[in-house]
Every structure is written in structure tokens, then in C-alpha cells.
Chains A and B, each alone.
Chain A
Amino acid sequence: MSDVVEKTLTALPSLLSLDSHPGSAKLSSTSKLGNLIRGITELTSKHEEEKLIQHELLAIKEQVSSPNTTMRQMKELMVRSIYCEMLGYEASFSYIHAIKLAQQGTVLEKRVGYLAVSLFLNESHELLLLLVNTVLKDLQSTNLIEVCMALTVVSQMFPKDMIPAILPLVEEKLNHPKEIIRRKAVLALYKFYLIAPNQVQHIHNKFRKALCDKDPGVMTASLHIYLQMIQENPEAYKDLTPSFVTILKQVVGGKLPMDFNYHTVPAPWLQIQLLRILSLLGKNDQSTSEVMYEVLDESLQRAEMNHNITYAILYECVKCIYTIHPKSDLLEKAAKCIGNFVLSPKINLKYLGLKALTYVVQQDPKLALQHQMTIIECLDHPDLIIKRETLELLFRITNGQNVTVIVEKMLEFLCISEDDHTTIDLVGKVAELAEKYPLKYNEWFIETMNTVFSLGGDMMQPDIPNSFLKLLSEGFDSVEEDRKLRLFAVNSYIPLLRGEPGKLPQRFLQVISWVLGEYSHLREDLEPAEVLSLLAKLLDMKNSSSETKSWVLMAMTKLCKGGADASVTQEVSETYSSSLDTVLRQRAHELQYLSQDPELRARVLPRGAKPETLEVDSSLSFLDRFVSEALAAGAAPYKPPHQRQEELDQSKALSLEPYGLSLPISMSSCSITDRQSPTLLSMSSGLSGDTLKLDGIKRVWGREGYLAQREPVEEAAQVEVPSPIQSPGRQGEGDSLHSQTPTQTPTPEPEQEKQQLASSLFVGLASQSSVSLMGKSEPMPQRFRRKAKGQGLGSSFIANEQISSSLISPPSAVDNLLCNNLLDSNNASELAEQTSQLSQSLTTANGTCHAEAELTESDTKGCNPALRRDNCVVAAGPGPHNDPGRLTEVCLDSYLPAELSGLSHSEIAPLCANQSLNLSACHVQKEDSLILVVFIMNSSESAIQQIPAGEVTSYSVAVGQYSLTVKRPAVHVEVVGTVSYQLPAGTSQSLQFSYKVPLTSFIRPFVVSTEEYGTMWLSFSHDTKQNLTLINDNQEPLTATLNALKKKLQLHVVEVIGMEGIVACRLLQDLPCLMHCRVNAGWLAVWLRSPVPDLPDCLIYHCQRALQSL
């Protein structure tokens, strides 16, 4: 044994007999703390204690603030304040003095000061900043004790922001000759790592040095850091495995100094730490695990079962063996060890044995079988903790055969458990088991759940009753079984309600009322009137919460049939229709109306509706008509908050432009033009006039609504392929538009916006295909269908909310719109802005300065129809770099420019034609651009002069190519252009076309690392969330789905981790969009984020389409 031990051993006897009155020897009679403590012990009531302490605190306060108090006295005062604080009395006045003491005192006083500071303050306390300087000074001190104290206080608490100030000094201490300083420095750095990992990143190699320190104490301290870091990222530290193994081998082999022995076990805490690290490293990694087999074996053998601490090591060893890649002979030994634990008469070991079994049993259920008798004994153990642990073990080995017994045991335990935490946990487990194996034991299931509800009370997780009701309503395969199950539930609830329902928890009452409302008709001998009166009784109970009451009212709504029950329902609905609680009032009104109108009730709450088709129309599309009516009546469309904010910011700037013509006038002038020249122009203005409205609809009801709306709309847009032939048909529409416009926006528009609208119309690059008048009428049937579905669900509890909102929403929607009207400027301007932006970007992309110049001109002169046409022609006309091929063949493929011919292009679609020209187009996806290729074929006999450049001879083809970019994303991007040309006769003519490109053509994969993804994710502001269907045809639905999306949409899958995946893409040129996918309850929960508004919405639409088309 070491010297110290021997010395102390010899000194011990004399010391033990030193004095027989140790207490008195130590307590100076004048000690004020002593007096205080003595005073307190003599008191008899809490009240007196309070009085005494308050008095004491006053005295302390007076003294600490007196200038005459010496540091020495201050030290004594601090100890007294610490004592008072410990008892729960605040002594905040002394905090500043504690800091002062640490600053100014001698070493001993400093020590008290630091102690008081570390007990009084916390990391975010503002006074702590005052300590920073003191710590800095002490870290530089030559007195070891001062350095130690400073390091200690730093590792207890230190303001995060001030770490950089002292970090170099602490780092320096890693090289200090004294090991105690090095050790404390390592722990201080560990603390820094915990609170601000970024700031110590650069010193990771110093941690390695600490691990190799010659002093085992320093090495032990560094293991704290490694345990933490390996927990976070085991992969990065695999290379250290051999080092850890070597260290453990040396420790186990007794190479450490004897000082480290504890009960003859060498450095047990160090061993525990190392075993934990090894198990983290070896998890799921065969080659790493193989390195450690030998040392684990040795640890198992060396640990003789003689003391607690060896058991601690063994326990860690066993856990490690079962965590790493398995090796059979080690497993065998470990299993034997667990046996020793479980069979031990020492209760602590038994507890750990059960814990180990629980941990192990999933891999090796046989082990539990071996110890079944012990487990049974433990079940009846007087110690609740042991019982609880046993139940945990049983929970893991539950199967179809033993479930009833195990659940029974758990319920027994629940009855005696007093701890809320345990109850909540256990109730959840019972419910999980009961739902997992309900099939064979209908009655058992209901009875168990009843016990769960009554025992778990209102503490349990809210999803338990929800999933119970879901199970009940969805049923299983057999209709007869379902009926029996429900009937049994009803049968079991009726007596409960007849008894003393006041004792049942609220959640249970809610479940009961739902079940009775849905299924009480299954019991034929039961009169609805009786159920109604039972339910009505619940309403009268004092302790019913208003939530319960609304459940009851809902149930009554389902049950009332008029006639005999009318009086009960009438009374109830009258009572609650004046309730202060709006939900209750709502329910009461529903009850009143539906009970009087059986037909409506049957439609709204059909009996026996199946909730499988649970589909909430989150787009609220059933309100479309209402919204469009409101819009037509002059309400402003909804704008998402970010857009509103942007506009608000814009409007804050002074507008120097004078107010121009009001929009209605410009709109009507547009439509007049339309009538005169029934070409695309009219259509595009009609389109945008309408876009404006339906766009608004989409926005009013949120992003989710988007998709359901789009589909029909898009088809409608396709019908409107612009060509002069269709123009007569257009006219009527133009008319109707015309008649609408005057009422639309009575607000005066700033001139600029109006001009933008005009120019956007005439440059002819419509922003999106999104909507048209036709689109409005088409979704109707679908909408009805959806609504009907919602009503079918009305009887299920979730959908009930939905339907009620549909019942009450009209007034609120009006509110909304009015509100928007006040808040927002008109949507027309927004659209105008949008389109003009788009058109500008497109023109710029053309690469012809000429076109761009022309465009600006058209901007200013946008109001003049005549001018407009001309400009438009130029803007959209082929640029000078055209590549006119001169061939008469109609096979347009061969006209593709040479540099594009190798790339995949979309089908070449005819755009429009007249007697002299045929226009076709396709788009080609290049790696970082999208090229629109327009084929202009002269089908006439004479050459045609193009404006501004080029000549297309008879029966030849001119090809123009334009690179497209998108500034404002839309589901489809529509490019509208005009070709204007001159026949030899000299008459100038023009031909309009439009071409639609899906947004997906602009999407390119975006290659980023996970880290970059993380930082980007946080910085993007626009997001949307949606559930998508998963592809379920193989084992890995997530990967399969992501791959499908990747293939269809050109996304880049960044990483897939377990049930989550992250995906990135960009919209040409460089507008990123990030996508986070998570598998959740059979759905793929997708969350998109992007810096570009609308991009997430549009993309999710395409994702949905892509998945649907599979």
C-alpha cells in the first residue's frame, strides 16, 4: 500500500480517541452560524423559522452593506447566506458581495466567495459577467490553489459568450506541470464543449493529448469528453478503439498505481467509463467489435463477485457485450452473469439484473425463460421499483398468448401506484398492448380499456382515447366481430352511466359519449330516449369540463330523432345555446337544428359511416364559390403574410408618381380592345383578369388547398390554345369579363402598377397557366363529392370539427375577406407585378438587347393598343442569332440546332397556324438552362420578311431559340409571344402563340452536403408542409419514394437517415429549394423550404403528381 495509507493507518487510532466531544470542540460558542442553526433546531413551527430567518437575513444585509465589514467577517456572512438560501430563503442582496469576496479576498476568503457564487448564480445570471475578470486574473495566478478554484468555478458555470476570453488560458493549463491543474482544465474544456461546442472545435487534438497524458487522472477526465463526442458521432472516433482497448487492458491488468484501487478493484469508475465508450464504438460494427472481444473476456473473468463495485463493472460489461456485434462464447458468459444478478439476494443487484434482462431479452428471449421463476417472484416483491422493472421486462416479452396475464399484472400495479409519472407510462403501455392484440378477446379488450381509462384518468396521453376510438370505428375484417365489439362496449358503458358517472375521469366520459352516440343503436332493447337522458345527466354534473360537455352534445345530436326525445334535446339545446363557451353554443345550435330536420341529420351524420376515407379537405375548396362571389363583389383577395409584409415595406417608401387612371378603366379598355381584335390578346387579358381572382381563392385558404384546385384548372387552360379560330367564342367571355370588371376594384391604383399590368399583358408572357373562367366551373362536382365525404365522416370525431367549421364558416369568411380588403392592396397589382417580372426575365434571357429596349418602351406605352401590338411583336420575335434552316421537309426534329440535338427535348407541339405560317415549339433541358425552340415554318408560296430580322423563304423553316428562366414560380409557366411578319405584298401581320412549360422542366438537382443543407434550411423563410402517399410496393418505402421523385423531378437526394430523408433541388438558375421527408403513419410527411415564395407550393404539387402517376 502506498505511504499515505500506511501513515494514516498508524495515525487512525490516536485520532479516533482524540476527543469525546467533537461537536463542542468544533463549535465556537460565538459562531453566529452556530447560533443560527441552534436557534432553528429549537423552533417548533415553520412560521417561527420563517420569522427567524427573515430576521437573520436583515442582520446580514445590514452588515454586508456596511463599509466597516472586513473581508474576514464577510466570509462568515457568506456562509450564513448560503445556509439561508439552502433553506429556500432568498438572499439576493448578498450575490454581489459574493463576487466581491471572490475578487478581493485572500485565498481562503476567495474560496468562500467562489463557492457562494457557484451556489447562488446560474449561467445566465447577469452578475456573472462581473466574475469574468476575477477568473482571468486567478487563471494567471502563480498560486496553484487560486488556479484550481478558478477552474472549478469555470466548470460549474460560466457565461457562454465570455468563453473566448478565457479559452486560451484554459488551453494553456493543459500543459501545466501539475496533474490536478491539467485534470481540471480538461473538465473545464468539457464544460465548454457542452455549452458551446463550436468554440472548442479547434482543440480536438488537445483532447487526444489529454487522453495520452501520463497521469491516469487526466486521462480519466478526458474520457468524459470522449464519451460525449462518441455518443454524438461514433464514426469519427473508430480509430481510437485500439487505444481505449489498450487502456482498459492495462487497467484490468492492474498496471495503475495502487492509489487508484478501490476495494482492491483497480480504478472501477474508469473501467465503467471505458466499457461505455467501447459499447458505443462497437455497436453495429463487426470489425471494431472484434478488437474488443479479448479485453471484455478478461474483464468478465477478473471481476470477482465480492463487492458492489465489481458488480457495477460486470453490469457494464454485460451491457457492452450485448450491444456490440455478438460473439457466442462471450454471450454465454454474459448470460451467466445476468443470471447471477437476477438470483442475487441483494436487492440492488436484482434490480440491475432485471434491467439487464430487459435490455437483453429482445435479442435472446430464452434468457427470460430460464429465469421465469425469479421473474414471477419479483412480480410479488414488496419493493415497487422492482415490480415496476419486472413489468417493464414482461412488456418486452408480451405475445398473443401471454398478453392477458401480463396486462392483468400491469393493471394490478396501476391500482397501487401513486406516482403520476409511472401511471402515465404504464397506462400507455397497457393501451399499446391491448390494441396490439385485441382480436381474439373482444370483451377483454373493452374491459381492459375501461380499466385503463378509469385508472389513467386525465393524466394519460391524449392519443390513447383517440386511437381506441379509431380502432373501434375502423373495425377489423369481420363485420360481425366489429358489431360484437361495439355492442359490448355499449353494454359495458350503460351500467357505468347508470351508476356514478361523476367519479369517472373526463376522458373516459368523452369516450363513452362518443361510443354511445355512434353505436348505441346496435343494442336493440335500448331506447334512444334512455341514452339521451343518461347523457343529459352528464351535462348537469358539476365537474364535467366544457370539453366533455361538447362531446356529450355531439353524441346527443347523433341520437336525437325528434318525437319523444324532443323535450330532452330541446331543453338541453336551449340551456346551452346561450352558453358563454362558444364551442358549446355551436354544438347546441347544431343539436337544435339537426334534431328538427331528420333528413339533414341523416345526410350530415349518416349512421355507420366508415372513417377509412378520412380525408380532410384542407383546401376548403367547398368555399371557392363563396370566395369568388365575394371577390366579384369587391373583396380583396387574400395574400400570404410574407407577401403582405413585402408590400407593406414597399408601400412605406414614398410614391412620387401621381395617381393615374384607376384600374377599372384600364381593364375595360383592355376588354374593348379584346373585342376589336379577338386574338390572344383578349384571351390573355381575360386570363389575367380571372387569374387574379382564383389566385386569390387559393391564397385565402392556405397553401394546402392548392393542389386539389389545380388539376381541373389546368385542363381548362389547355383547352384555350390560343388561335384566331377560337376568337369568336372568346368574345362572349370577354364580355362577361367586361361586365365584371367595373365592380371589381373601386380603389384607385397607382399608375405604376397599372402600367405594369398593362405591359405584362402586352408583352404577352402570362405568368401562369393557373386558372381561367372555365376552371371555376369545373371543380364543382368534385367539390360536392368531397363535401359529401366530409359529411360521411361527420360522425367520426375528427371530421366533426371539419363539418362544423363548414357550417359556421360563411360569416367568418366574410370577415376575413373584409379584413383583407382593408389590409391589402388589390391583387391585380400583385399579378401585374408578377407577370411583368416574368416577362422581363424572359426577354433578358433572349440575349437580344434590342428586344429588351423595346420592352421598356412597351412598358411606358402600355396603354395604347396600337403601339402595343408592334412592340409585342418585336419583343417576342426571334433574336438575331437565329439559326434559320432552309428545308422544306416537315420533319421538324432535324431543324433542332446542332448543339441541342444531343439533348432530350419535349415533343414538338404545334402552336398555331394561319394560311402563311405554321408555328411549333419544344423545350430542351440543358444542364443549367431551359431552351425554348420555336419553329416558324412558312407554308405559303412566297417569302416572308420577319421583323426585325431575317427572311423565311417559301416552305422553309426558321428556328429561334430562347433560354428561359423563372423569377416567380408557378405550377406551369406559360410563354406567350407574337411573331409579326411582312408578306411580300407589304402588309404587316402578326401571329400570336403561347406555350406551356411545366415548372419541373426548370428544376435541376442541387448537390449539397448535409451540413450546407442544415445551414440553408435555417435561413429559408418560405415553407410548406404536406403529406404525400408512400410507394409501398417494396421493403423500403422511403427510399423507393425518394428515388421515384428523384427520377421524375430531377431532385438530389442528400441523405437518408432512418425514416427521414433530405432532398435538394434548384430552380434555374440558382433558386434552391430544400425538402425534408419523414415517414409518418404510412404517409410521407414532406416539408419544403425555399427562399422563393410559391416555389415550395408549386414543387409539392409536382411531387404529388409524380407520385400519383406511378
Chain B
Amino acid sequence: MIKAILIFNNHGKPRLIRFYQYFAEDMQQQIIRETFHLVSKRDDNVCNFLEGGSLIGGSDYKLIYRHYATLYFVFCVDSSESELGILDLIQVSCSFVFVETLDKCFENVCELDLIFHMDKVHYILQEVVMGGMVLETNMNEIVAQVEVQNRMEKSEGGLSAAPARAVSAVKNMNLPEIPRNINIGDINIKVPSLSPF
């Protein structure tokens, strides 16, 4: 089972947090901090698996993460999940997050896009992982679902939501090969020097 999905940036600022097991609010923050602490120490050329910190529950838990540009995507899972399977699931889900919600390819992605559309990202994740279980790994199905919802939004809100378009892009994309210097868009982000702790 997936216990939690954490997305935070290079400075440990949470960008999207979803727990599938109950933790108290302050415990959640501590988990985020500790996970960031563990993950951020690691180079990009080491393996993507971590034996869980003692916080989330000892050796039965694993952290499986990917690092894209300025963001870390971390899945906390228990031993019933396949490591490599989850690793690809991260790839799938974040491809969807970017490609589907944000109407753009990875080249143009920026971390702020993610938080500006936090709710949408949650909806997409809901289609992939439901209550801690991997619900759907059929790309077309996810696209269809998101599309239905987007259409709804369109009819109501006037924001032009894009149709699904990138199924094959997702299917055949190999994220690690994508250049890491990502165009941050037109927002001039001052990288916040907040100490996250």
C-alpha cells in the first residue's frame, strides 16, 4: 500500500502532500522534514530507493523517489509494493500531472505551475492512486477521466481546459533523459531562502 505521496522542492517546501494513512498534523510536517532530509542528501547518481526513516514505521517502509528539476516526488510505500513498479508509477503520475493539467511538456514545466493548480493535481492523483491503492495504470482511462472533469470545468468556468493530448508522449517518455535545465516560465521566482525547519 502507498502510505503517502510527498512532493517538495529542492528547499524542502512542500508542494503537494497526500497521506493515505492518518498522521497527526505535526507528525505530517515532521515526516516531510525528515524525508526531505534523507532524500536531499543523495546525489542524482545513486539509487532511488531508501529504507524508510524510523518515523514512518521502520524497515517495512520504503521511500521511493524521483528528482525532476526542482522537485522531489516521494512515495512512501510498504513492502507490498514493487519498487520498480512504483518508480514507474511516479513517472506516469507526474507526467500526467504536468502534461495533462498544465497543458505543457516537461520542457516548460515549473514548480509554481504545480502549486497554482494544486487541486487539479490532486484530482489526477486520485485517478491514479485511490486510498493508497494503485487504481489505474491504463493511460487512456486516466486521460478520459481527467478529460470528463475538464470538460465540465470548461462548460462552467470559461477557463479553457485543454483536451487530452499526450498519451503517447507519456507512454514513451523517459523522464530522466529530459534536460534538467528547465525554463522557469515568465514568473521571476526568487528562490526563497526560507529555512524550512
Report whether A86 and B103 are in contact in the complex, using a CB–CB cutoff of 8 Å. no
What are 27 residue pairs bridging A and B, where the CB atoms are less than 8 Å apart in the complex? A12-B168, A18-B104, A22-B108, A24-B186, A26-B117, A33-B116, A38-B187, A46-B194, A79-B119, A83-B115, A85-B25, A108-B153, A111-B123, A115-B126, A152-B126, A152-B131, A180-B145, A183-B135, A183-B136, A217-B138, A221-B133, A268-B88, A268-B137, A315-B83, A382-B46, A385-B50, A419-B53
**CB-based contact A268/B112 at 8 Å:** no
User: Shortest distance in angstroms between A40's beta carbon and chain B's nearest beta carbon?
Assistant: 7
Partner of A22, one of B26, B102, B131, B163: B102
Quick check: which of A159-167, A305-313, A883-891, A1063-1071 contacts chain B, the rest being far away? A305-313
**Of B88, B105, B196, which is within 8 A of A312 by CB?**
B88
| Given contact pairs A8-B167, A43-B192, A145-B148, a sample of 14 additional A-B residue pairs in the complex whose CB atoms are under 8 Å apart | A23-B186, A37-B115, A41-B192, A42-B192, A86-B17, A86-B118, A190-B131, A269-B89, A347-B47, A351-B49, A351-B83, A352-B84, A385-B50, A421-B58
Give B contacts to A, CB under 8 Å: 13-14, 16-18, 20, 22, 25-26, 28-29, 38, 42-43, 45-54, 58-59, 80, 82-85, 87-89, 92, 102-105, 108, 110, 112-113, 115-119, 122-123, 126, 130-131, 133-141, 143-145, 148-149, 152-153, 156-157, 162-169, 171-172, 185-187, 189-190, 192-196
B7 to chain A, nearest CB (A): 10
A1046 vs B105: C-alpha distance when bound (angstroms): 73
Whether the pair B194, A351 counts as a contact (CB closer than 8 A) is no
Q: With A86-B14, A111-B149, A217-B138 known to touch, is A22 a contact of B104 (CB < 8 Å)?
A: yes
Whether A350 sits at the interface, judged by CB under 8 Å, is yes
Say which residue of A23, A82, A260 sits within 8 Å of B119 (CB atoms).
A82
B-facing residues in A20-37 (Cβ within 8 Å): 21-24, 26-27, 31, 33-34, 37
* A11 lies within 8 A of chain B by Cβ: yes
- Return the CB mask of A195-211 against B: 1 if under 8 Å, else 0: 00000000000000000
A residues near B185, Cβ cutoff 8 Å: 21-24
Given contacts A26-B116, A83-B115, A123-B22, contact A9 B168 (CB under 8 A): yes
What are the residues of chain B within 8 A of A217 when measuring CB–CB?
136, 138, 141
For the complex, is A420 an interface residue (Cβ under 8 Å from B)?
A: yes
Contact (A21, B186) CB under 8 Å given A43-B192, A45-B194, A312-B85:
yes
A residues near B122, Cβ cutoff 8 Å: 115, 119
Closest to B133 in A: A224
Question: Which residues of B lie under 8 Å from residue A85 when comparing CB positions?
Answer: 25
Given A15-B162, A49-B194, A259-B139, A37 and B145 contact (CB-CB distance below 8 Å):
no
- Of A309, A352, A383, which is within 8 A of B88 by CB? A309
Instruction: Flag if B135 contacts A44 (CB, 8 Å).
Output: no
B115 touches A422 (CB 8 A): no
Cross-chain contact B138 with A187 (CB below 8 angstroms): no
User: What residue in chain B is nearest A121 (Cβ atoms)?
Assistant: B22
Residues of B within 8 A of A112 (CB): 119
A472 sits at the interface (CB 8 A):
no
Bound-state CA distance A308–B137 (Å) is 15
Distance in Å from the Cβ of B101 to the closest Cβ of chain A?
A: 10
A261 interface residue, CB < 8 Å from B?
A: yes
Q: Is A388 an interface residue (CB 8 A)?
A: yes
When chains A and B are docked, how far (Å) is the Cα of A974 from the Cα of B104?
91
Cross-chain contact A4 with B82 (CB below 8 angstroms)? no
Q: What residues of chain A lie closer than 8 Å to B135, measured between beta carbons?
A: 183-184, 187, 221
Determine the chain B residues whose CB is within 8 A of the CB of A188 once the complex forms. 131
Are B103 and A259 in touch, CB under 8 angstroms? no
Say whether chain A's binding surface is mostly helix, strand, loop, or mixed. Answer: helix
Q: Are A41 and B165 interface neighbours, CB within 8 A?
A: no
CA of A5 to CA of B144 in the docked complex: distance in angstroms? Answer: 12
Task: Report yes or no: B103 in contact with A15, Cβ–Cβ below 8 A.
Answer: yes
Bound CA–CA A216/B141 (angstroms)? 12
The yes or no answer to A458 lying at the interface (CB within 8 A) is: no
Q: Contact between B22 and A122 (Cβ–Cβ < 8 Å)? A: yes
* A-B interface, 10 closest residue pairs, ranked by CB to CB distance from nearest: A312-B84, A23-B185, A155-B131, A383-B46, A421-B54, A122-B22, A88-B29, A8-B165, A347-B47, A259-B140
Q: Provide the A441-484 mask, 1 if CB < 8 A to any CB of B, else 0.
A: 00000000000000000000000000000000000000000000
Also in contact, A15 and B165, with CB within 8 A (given A34-B116, A49-B194, A82-B119): yes
Known contacts A183-B135, A227-B80; is-contact A348 B48 (Cβ 8 Å): yes
* Cβ contact of A41, chosen from B46, B136, B137, B190, cutoff 8 A: B190
Assuming A26-B116, A27-B116, A34-B116, is B190 touching A422 (CB within 8 A)? no
Q: Which of A15, A40, A350 contacts B47 (CB 8 A)?
A: A350
Q: Which residues of A contact B169 (CB under 8 A)?
A: 8, 12
Cross-chain contact B18 with A119 (CB below 8 angstroms): yes
How many Å from the CB of A178 to the closest CB on chain B?
11
By beta carbon, the residue of chain B nearest A22 is B104
CA distance A315 to B87 in the complex (A): 14
Q: A11-B165, A309-B85, A382-B46 given as contacts; is B140 within 8 A of A115 (CB)?
A: no
With the chains together, A12 CA to B102 CA distance in Å? 14
Q: Which residues of A contact B138 (CB under 8 A)?
A: 216-217, 259-260, 267
Binary contact track A104-129/B, C-beta < 8 Å → 1, others 0: 00111001100100010011100000
A350–B157 Cα distance when bound, in Å, is 50
Q: Is the CB of A187 within 8 A of B131?
A: yes
The answer on a CB contact under 8 Å between B46 and A259 is no
In the assembled complex, which residues on chain B have CB atoms less than 8 Å from the CB atom of A261?
A: 171
Given A26-B113, A263-B171 in contact, is the A83-B118 Cβ separation under 8 Å? yes
A272 close to B (CB within 8 Å): yes
Residue on A with the closest CB to B184? Answer: A23
**Contact A5 B47, beta carbon cutoff 8 Å:** no
In contact, A348 and B140 (Cβ under 8 angstroms)? no
Q: Bound complex: CA of A269 vs CA of B80, how far in Å?
A: 12
Residue of A at shortest CB range from B113? Answer: A23
Pairwise interchain contact A259-B141, C-beta atoms closer than 8 A: yes
CA distance A308 to B85 in the complex (A): 8
CB distance from B103 to the nearest CB of A (A): 7
On chain A, the residues within 8 Å of B54 by CB distance are 420-421
Q: How far is the CB of A188 from chain B (nearest CB, A)?
A: 8
Q: Which of A719-743 contact B (CB under 8 A)?
A: none
By a CB distance below 8 angstroms, the chain B residues around A86 are: 14, 16-17, 118
Contact B46 A347 (CB under 8 A): yes
Give Cα A115–Cα B115 distance, bound, in whole angstroms: 15
By a CB distance below 8 angstroms, the chain B residues around A106 are 156
A855-869 vs B, CB cutoff 8 Å, 1 = contact: the mask equals 000000000000000
Nearest chain-B residue to A14 (Cβ)? B165
Complex contact B123–A115 (CB within 8 A): yes
Contact assessment for B103 and A262 in the assembled complex, using a CB-CB cutoff below 8 Å? no
* Known contacts A4-B140, A43-B192, A269-B89; A191 and B16 CB within 8 A of each other: no
Q: Roughly how many angstroms separate A726 CA and B49 CA in the complex, as a whole number?
A: 84
B164 to chain A, nearest CB (A): 6
At the interface, yes or no: A294 with Cβ under 8 Å from chain B?
no
When chains A and B are docked, how far (Å) is the Cα of A7 from the Cα of B164?
A: 9
Q: Which chain A residues border B141 with CB–CB below 8 Å?
A: 180, 217, 259
Q: Say yes or no: B143 contacts A44, CB within 8 Å.
A: no
The distance in angstroms between the C-alpha atoms of A554 and B130, with both chains bound, is: 59
Considering the chains assembled together, what is the distance between the CA atoms of A385 and B39 in angstroms? 12
> Of B84, B117, B130, which one neighbours A311 at CB under 8 angstroms?
B84
| A2 adjacent to B113 (CB under 8 Å) | no
Complex Cα distance A111/B145, Å? Answer: 14
Q: Quick one: which of A33, A145, A352, A388 contacts B149, CB cutoff 8 A? A: A145
| Smallest CB gap from B111: residue in A | A41
What residue in chain B is nearest A228 (Cβ atoms)? B80
Chain A contacts of B166 at CB under 8 A?
Answer: 8, 12, 15
Q: Is A16 part of the contact surface with B, judged by Cβ < 8 Å? A: yes
Chain B's closest residue to A13 (CB) is B165
**Does A928 have its Cβ within 8 Å of any Cβ on chain B?**
no
Q: Is the CB of B103 within 8 A of A184?
A: no
Which of B59, B130, B192 is the most central at the interface, judged by chain A CB atoms within 10 Å of its CB?
B130
CA distance A1059 to B126 in the complex (A): 44
Check A191 against B131 for contact (C-beta < 8 Å): yes
